[in-house]
Chain A
Amino acid sequence: MATSSFTKKTLGVEANDSGKARSADSGQPAFPKKPKITPSKAKRREIPEGLWTKCPKCSLMLYDKELDENLKVCKQCSHHFPIGARERIHSLVETCSFEEMDAEMTSVDALKFTGASSYASKLDAYRKNTSLKDAVITGIGKINSIRVALGVMDFQFLGGSMGSVVGEKLTRLIETGTAKELPVVIISCSGGARMYEGMLSLMQMAKTCAALAYHGRSRLPFISVLTHPTTAGVMASFATIGDLIIAEPAAMIGFAGPRVIKDTTQSELPPGFQTAEFLRDRGLIDAIVSRKEMKGRLTSYLEFMTEGRTARHA
């Protein structure tokens, strides 16, 4: 499996099938399949030196080490490969400046959900296989010289779905931002609300938006960054109420899944439907920013959005 070579060992992040977010043959973005992780794969084998990954967009063979150093962006066509939450945080904040919050918070099977497989066993497998506790990492860190409350979602953990833990960690992050008068930056990557927690998940949408309502009332900036893919319940909550809404190139972004829309409307979807570019052209997204420019652009935006406040307080 070529995608396993995404693994950035130093950060202990294990990639998986979610790497196949775009289908190579069509070149069209598609909703990635939920990563399939089985407990038997728990033991990670050593990755030998010299592994290569084929770019799904331009087919160039990329040397993994180089791909990692390039923030998982193809050097030829700028295709953005999936990137884990820790790697992304690493790419944005100053060394040693990130203080993680609620690192030990974990999901519980509150509904005793039983279906084709139980939620409890799913959680167990994902925890073992991803080195993540849940689908978001939050904390306070410095982007260049600006202290921010930063939340980064990780698609590897149950499709980045938002259950109680994601909602609670983000809400605490936002509340901390309000209390400490810090800007909030949330980088989303999610299939939506987590089914296994039923209505508890849906209510996380209201909870996070409530916290942002008060953060915004204090005239503190919130930048929402949408990455591939951001959909459904996460889109219909915190992700679309940023003072700025930024997206990575070609990211799949939408509310309903394309198949659902096709089935419901019985019509063909327009070209580029539900991509970052499509939504920028229709007025939702402020700017498309490539991963490699993200840190600089966020810094610049935040400078614009915080200087007035400093002046007001002076």
Chain B
Amino acid sequence: MKNYLDFEKPIAELQRKMDELQRHREAHGIEISLDKEIRQIKKKISEERRRIFSDLTPWQRVQLARHPKRPYTLDYIRTVFSDFAELHGDRLYGNDQAMVGGFAKIGDQKVVVLGTQKGRDTKENIRRNFGSAHPEGYRKALRLMRLADKFSLPIITLIDTAGAYPGIAAEERHIAEAIAVNLREMILMEVPIIAMVIGEGGSGGALGVGVADRVLILENAYYSVISPEGCAAILWKDRSAAPKAAEALKITARDLLELSLVDEIIPEPLGGAHNDVEVTAATVKERLLANLKELTAVGTKERLEQRYRKYRAHGRFQEGQPVAA
């Protein structure tokens, strides 16, 4: 059984009907008479899917970004990359399994790939802390990036986290500092860096591995300064106002591209990335390779200047007096 989201109910309903007809056909062997009906329902399903997915609200996209079947970092590492050699630990404290990384190849290009990793089931989620890294996760990421920089390997980071972990141990080991150091160091890495938001781009926890020459985002991923629920709790005093907050915060791929805060949107198959992982992976691979090619064609000095200028340009403000309201 597939996991359907609330707004996909019409599709789920049609799918259920079709499954019923198919079972009926198998049980009674009456093929010809039902073929037409099944074809019609199939057509309806794809129409319905097109209708629903052509006009998703920001909140619906957030739900897709959090879909339990959505491909995670290691799924992309398996499908887009080859020869992955995982490397563990931050050499300071531990091995945070909410952050994974290592050597890998994309096409013929050797790279270091890393990213936040959610768990697929409860057991794995406990091990991976639901994809929310502790300080050692960010420090492990930095260690791997320094390794990449030293040996001239491009860096690809995959982002899918609700945020850095808000816990006692995380504070005691200075999670804010771990993120901030990454922001400072990533701007200076001499190798090309591509960051790709594949699911949830949760605030500082996402940005902590997100400073890059190119920031790509999957069509239904989101990237936000605060979770819609968190924003709703503060501004609406009600977490259930999250859909409104998702709207106001401008967190969808399209919004972010319009604000020039991301460089490129990677299209997903109809119904979301999980609906056809193979197609998603192929698109991701093609776009990563294309961007890598462009970035490696630029000299190091120029690439670093461009990276700086890109972040330097973020922000909207007014130099003079405010316009009267």
A residues touching B (Cβ–Cβ < 8 Å)?
102, 104-108, 110-111, 113-116, 120-121, 123-124, 127, 164-165, 167-168, 171, 193, 195, 197-207, 209-214, 216-217, 232-233, 235-241, 254-257, 260-261, 264-265, 267, 269-270, 273-274, 279, 282-284
Contacts and interface: CB of A to CB of B under 8 A. Distances in A.
Interface in B165-197: 165-168, 170-177, 179-181, 183-185, 187-188
Given A198-B251, A199-B225, A206 B311 contact: yes
A261 B171 contact: yes
Interface stretch (B68-76, B108-116, B230-238): B230-238
B291 interface: no
Given A213-B188, A216-B184, A282-B174, A203 B315 contact: yes
B321 A104 contact: yes
Contacts, number: 205
Contacts of A114: 248
Nearest to B323: A108
Contacts of A233: 203-204, 225
A110 B316 contact: yes
| Most chain A beta carbons < 10 A, residue from B171, B231, B316, B321 | B171
Interface residues of B, number: 59
Contacts of A211: 312
Nearest to A256: B166
A115 B228 CA distance: 12
Secondary structure of the A contact surface, majority rule: helix
A200 B248 contact: no
Given A198-B224, A207-B314, A240-B174, A111 B322 contact: no
Given A108-B318, A261-B168, A199 B223 contact: yes
Given A199-B259, A256-B166, A284-B174, A206 B187 contact: yes
A164 B315 contact: yes
Given A116-B237, A211-B312, A213-B185, 5 more contacts: A110-B316, A124-B322, A199-B250, A205-B207, A264-B165
Interface of B: 164-168, 170-177, 179-181, 183-185, 187-188, 203-204, 207-208, 210-211, 223-226, 230-231, 234-237, 244-245, 248-251, 256, 259, 261, 308, 311-312, 314-322, 325
Given A206-B211, A207-B311, A255-B170, A195 B183 contact: no
A274 B167 CA distance: 11
A121 B325 contact: yes
A193 B315 contact: no
Contacts of B325: 120-121, 124
A217 B248 CA distance: 38
A121 B188 CA distance: 39
